[in-house]
Amino acid sequence: MSIEMIPVSSSNIQAIGYDEDNEIVHVQFLNNTEYIYKGVPRPIFEGLINSPSIGSFLHRNFKNVYPYERVS
């Protein structure tokens, strides 16, 4: 299954996507690494995509909150 990646305007994030069935957020950074964050409810993803600072929102609301792993 392919996740639609949405390009974003950020100083360190290139694109983000959401797998609604599995509650997984995909984050592609400008340095070509990609991470997934697991168990993220849709309203939190929507907060991320609509945040004026996606990087800050990710840091405040995802790091040390949701399990994550580097996928590439």
pLDDT of the residue at 1: 58
- Is the pTM higher than 0.85? yes
Each of the 72 residues of the chain gets a pLDDT tens digit; together they read 589 999 999 999 999 999 999 999 999 999 999 999 999 999 999 999 999 999 999 999 999 999 999 999
pLDDT of the residue at 61: 97
Residue ranges of domains in the chain:
6-70
Whether the CB-CB separation of 56 and 62 falls below 8 Å is answered with: no
pLDDT of the residue at 2: 81
DSSP 55: H
Residues with Cβ within 8 Å of 67's Cβ and at least 6 positions away in sequence, in order, are: 37, 38, 39
